[in-house]
């Protein structure tokens, strides 16, 4: 059986911040196996994952089919020699590896700082497993310090924003400020052509409740709360070391247990 060694890829001259991102990406790549259908995330840490996987593809014969979560990740993956496919091509994924803007002790996440959380959530929930790669700065006791992205359709976006702001009055959050994400002087648009409202909440007491409420508002496409989707986080450190938080392993349950099943998995059958 072919043995793959991500440690063979060892860039030099990294800053402590970049080393931490690289260390988490390198450790997560050990979970990648020959022939996997793999979801590739978007962001500065996912960038390093694609670099490592590209080396394994070119130099070690790793064969994977990858579904990127953004156009920029797709472009990078192709440049690295990775076989890029669509979710329609493969139907279901073995594993998704992605970054996060925040994660709490239950491994609930805030994602979407890069504006790709819609595709990221679609890909993650169409996977047997999601692993998050991160540095220690993203670990929080309570979600909410990082602005929560809400992707909305352009039509009537002001009305949608007003409904979002009204709905926040009924939930336990630390603040209730919203801003339209901008790209210079123009509104930022996602790969799907939508807009993003960033919610500056400071603290989110009940992520599940907030996520469900936001997605019931007409005009909202998806929000950046990932609840009960991720079960493993790999944290990289500036000295190049890493640590793994695995909810399944720490609970003593196996991957076949009901607690680790993805509730969307039946659609792959």
Task: Give the pLDDT confidence score for residue 260 in this predicted structure.
Answer: 44
Q: Which residue bears the tokens 């609970």?
A: 251
Task: Give the pLDDT confidence score for residue 253 in this predicted structure.
Answer: 54
Fold matches, 6-136+228-240 and 148-217: no
Q: Which residue bears the tokens 């792959």?
A: 268
pLDDT digits (tens, 9 = 90+) for 129-143: 999 999 999 999 999
Assigned CATH topology for domain 148-217: Alpha-Beta Plaits (3.30.70)
Decide: 259 and 251 in contact? Cβ < 8 Å.
yes
Task: Give the pLDDT confidence score for residue 259 in this predicted structure.
Answer: 40
Helices (H), 155-234: 157-167, 207-214
Q: Which residue bears the tokens 């992205």?
A: 149
Task: Give the pLDDT confidence score for residue 209 in this predicted structure.
Answer: 97
Task: Give the pLDDT confidence score for residue 3 in this predicted structure.
Answer: 72
Task: Give the pLDDT confidence score for residue 247 in this predicted structure.
Answer: 87
Is 265 annotated as belonging to a binding site? no
Q: Does domain 6-136+228-240 have CATH number 3.30.390.50?
A: no
CB atoms within 10 A of CB 52: 24
Pairing of strands 102-103, 109-110: antiparallel
The yes-or-no verdict on residue 1 having pLDDT over 60 is: no
Residue 14 burial (10 A CB sphere; 0-12, 13-18, 19+)? middle
Decide: 152 and 184 in contact? Cβ < 8 Å.
no
| 235, 239, 241, 245 alpha-carbon torsion, rounded to 10° | -20
Is 241 annotated as belonging to a binding site? no
Is 111 annotated as belonging to a binding site? yes
Is 236 annotated as belonging to a binding site? no
Domain boundaries, the chain: 6-136+228-240, 148-217
Task: Give the pLDDT confidence score for residue 269 in this predicted structure.
Answer: 47
Residues with active-site annotation: 120
- CA 202 vs. chain centroid, Å, equals 20
Looking at residue 139, the DSSP 8-state letter turns out to be B
């Amino acid at each position: 059986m072919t043995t793959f060694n991500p440690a063979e890829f060892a860039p030099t001259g990294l800053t402590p911040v970049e080393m931490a991102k690289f260390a988490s990406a390198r450790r997560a790549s050990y979970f990648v196996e020959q022939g996997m259908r793999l979801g590739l995330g978007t962001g500065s840490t996912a960038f390093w994952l694609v670099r490592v996987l590209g080396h394994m593809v070119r130099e070690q014969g790793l064969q994977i089919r990858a579904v990127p979560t953004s156009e920029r990740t797709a472009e990078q993956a192709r440049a690295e020699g990775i076989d890029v496919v669509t979710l329609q091509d493969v139907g279901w994924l073995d594993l998704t590896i992605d970054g996060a803007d925040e994660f709490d002790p239950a491994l609930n996440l805030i994602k979407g700082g890069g504006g790709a959380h819609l595709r990221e959530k679609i890909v993650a929930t169409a996977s047997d497993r999601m692993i998050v790669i991160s540095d220690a700065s993203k670990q929080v006791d309570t979600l909410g310090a990082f602005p929560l992205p809400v992707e909305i359709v352009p039509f009537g976006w002001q009305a949608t924003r007003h409904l979002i702001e009204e709905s926040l009055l009924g939930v336990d959050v630390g603040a209730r400020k919203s801003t339209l994400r901008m790209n210079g002087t123009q509104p930022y648009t996602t790969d799907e052509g939508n807009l993003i409202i960033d919610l500056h909440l400071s603290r989110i007491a009940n992520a599940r409740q907030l996520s469900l409420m936001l997605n019931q508002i007409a005009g909202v496409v998806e929000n950046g709360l990932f609840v009960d989707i991720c079960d493993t986080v790999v944290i990289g450190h500036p000295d190049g070391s890493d640590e793994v938080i695995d909810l399944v392993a720490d609970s003593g349950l196996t991957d076949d247990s009901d607690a680790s099943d993805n509730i969307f998995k039946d659609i792959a059958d």
